[in-house]
Chain A
Amino acid sequence: MRQTCLKMIYELAKQDPRVVFVGSDLGTGTLEQFKTEMPERYFMEGVSEQSIVGMAAGLALEGKIVYFNTIATFITRRCFDQVAVDLCLHNLPVRLIGSGGGLVYAPLGPTHLATEDIAIMRALPNMTVVAPADANEMRRFMLRSLNHPGPIYIRLGKGGDPIVTPDDQPFAIGRAYRLREGKDVLILTTGICATVALDAVPQATVVHVPTIKPLDTETILTEAAKARVVVTIEEGTLSGGFGSAIAELLLEAGLTPRFRRLGIPDVFPDQYGSQASLMERYGLTPACVAATVQQLQRN
Chain B
Amino acid sequence: MKCSPSEITLDQRSRDLRRLVIRAIAAARRGHVGSSFSLIEMLRVLYDDVLRFDPKNPQWSQRDRCILSKGHGCLALYALLADKGFFPVEELDKFCKPDGILGGHPERHKVPGVEASTGSLGHGLPIGVGMALNARMEKANYRVFVVGSDGESQEGSVWEAAMAAAHHKLGHLTVLLDYNKQQSYGTIAEVLGLEPLSEKWRSFGFAVTEVNGHDVAELRDVVARVPLEPQKPTCIICHTIKGKGVRMCEGNLKWHHKTKISDEEIQALYDGLEAA
A46 at the interface (CB under 8 A from B): yes
Given known contacts A50-B126, A51-B157, is B117 in contact with A89 (CB within 8 Å)? yes
CB distance from A61 to the nearest CB of B (A): 7
| Chain A residues positioned under 8 Å from B127 (CB to CB) | 54-55, 57-58, 61, 86
B164 lies within 8 A of A51 (CB): yes
Q: Once the chains bind, are A51 and B129 in contact (CB under 8 Å)?
A: yes
Which of these, A46, A55, A81, contacts B130 with CB under 8 Å? A55
Contact B137 A40 (CB under 8 A): yes
CB-defined interface of A59-79 with B at 8 Å, one 1/0 digit per residue?
111111000000000000000
Q: For A49, give the chain B residue with the smallest CB separation.
A: B160
Contact of A58 among B107, B109, B131 (CB under 8 A): B131
Known interface pairs A41-B137, A48-B160, A85-B117; A54-B126 also in contact (CB < 8 Å)? yes
Contacts of B122 in A (CB 8 A): 50
Chain A residues with Cβ below 8 Å from B107 are 89
A58 touches B133 (CB 8 A): yes
Residues of B123-149 contacting chain A, CB below 8 A:
123, 125-138
Answer whether A55 and B123 are a contact pair too, CB < 8 Å, given A48-B160, A90-B109. Answer: no
Supposing A50-B156, A62-B130 touch, asked if A55 and B164 sit within 8 A by C-beta, the answer is yes
Residue on A nearest B119 in the bound complex, by CB: A85
Instruction: Output the least CB separation between A268 and chain B (Å).
Output: 24
Known: A50-B156, A51-B160. A57 touches B137 (CB 8 A): no
Q: Tell me the interface secondary structure of chain B in the complex.
A: helix
Give the residue among A60, A63, A81, A85 with the most B Cβ atoms within 10 A: A85
- A5 contacts B by Cβ under 8 Å: no
Give the docked Cα–Cα distance between A53 and B135 (Å).
18
The verdict on A58 contacting B123 (CB below 8 Å), with A48-B163, A51-B157 known, is no
Expressed in whole angstroms, the Cα–Cα distance for A64 and B127 within the complex equals 13
Give residues of chain A (16-56) contacting chain B, Cβ–Cβ below 8 Å.
Answer: 40-41, 43, 45-46, 48, 50-56
How many residues on A have C-beta within 8 angstroms of the other chain's C-beta atoms?
28
Among residues of B, the one whose C-beta sits closest to the C-beta of A54 is B126
Contact A64 B134 (CB under 8 A): yes
B107, B130, B134, B135 — which one has the most chain A CB atoms within 10 A of its CB?
B130
Closest A-chain residue to B129, C-beta based?
A55
**Is B120 among interface residues, defined by CB-CB distance under 8 A?**
yes
Q: Decide if A189 is an interface residue (CB 8 Å cutoff).
A: no
In Å, the complex CA distance between A86 and B120 comes to: 10
Q: Cβ of A99 < 8 Å from any Cβ of B?
A: no
B3-61 interface (Cβ within 8 A of A)? none
Give A86 to B134 CA distance when docked, in angstroms: 16
Give the residues in chain A near B128, CB-CB below 8 Å.
Answer: 58
Measured CB to CB, the nearest residue on chain A to B128 is A58
Task: State whether A54 touches B120 (Cβ < 8 A).
Answer: no
- Smallest beta-carbon distance A213→chain B, Å: 21
Q: Is B76 at the interface (CB under 8 A from chain A)?
A: no
Q: Is A237 an interface residue (CB 8 A)?
A: no
A85 and B164 in contact, given A58-B127, A58-B130 (Cβ under 8 angstroms): no
Q: Which residues of A contact B109 (CB under 8 A)?
A: 90-91
Complex CA distance for A39 and B118, rounded to whole angstroms: 31
Q: What residues of chain B lie closer than 8 Å to A43, measured between beta carbons?
A: 133
Residues in B with CB closer than 8 Å to A57 are: 116, 126-127, 130
Say yes or no for A82: interface residue by CB 8 A criterion. Answer: yes
Contact, CB under 8 Å: A61 / B157:
no
B161 is an interface residue with CB less than 8 A from chain A: yes
B120, A85: Cβ atoms under 8 Å? yes
B126 touching A45, Cβ below 8 Å: no
User: Which residues from chain A contact B156 at a C-beta distance below 8 Å?
Assistant: 50
Q: How far is the CB of A176 from chain B (nearest CB, A)?
A: 31
Q: Is the CB–CB distance between A51 and B161 below 8 Å?
A: yes
| CB pair A56 B130 closer than 8 Å | yes
Give Cα A256–Cα B67 distance, bound, in whole angstroms: 51
Q: Is B247's CB within 8 Å of the partner chain A?
A: no
Query: How many whole Å from A23's CB to the nearest CB in chain B?
Result: 13
For residue A221, give the distance in angstroms from its CB to the closest CB of chain B: 33
The residues of B that contact A85 with a CB separation of less than 8 Å are 117-120, 123
Question: Which B residues contact A (CB, under 8 angstroms)?
Answer: 107-109, 115-120, 122-123, 125-138, 156-157, 160-161, 163-164
Can you give 20 contacting A-B residue pairs, CB < 8 Å?
A46-B164, A48-B160, A48-B161, A51-B129, A52-B126, A54-B123, A54-B127, A55-B164, A56-B130, A58-B127, A58-B134, A61-B130, A61-B131, A62-B131, A64-B134, A64-B137, A85-B118, A85-B119, A86-B126, A90-B109
- A-B residue pairs, 5 tightest by C-beta: A58-B130, A54-B126, A51-B160, A48-B160, A62-B134
Known contacts A50-B160, A51-B163, A63-B134; 10 additional CB pairs below 8 A are: A48-B161, A48-B164, A50-B157, A51-B157, A54-B130, A55-B130, A57-B130, A59-B131, A61-B108, A90-B108
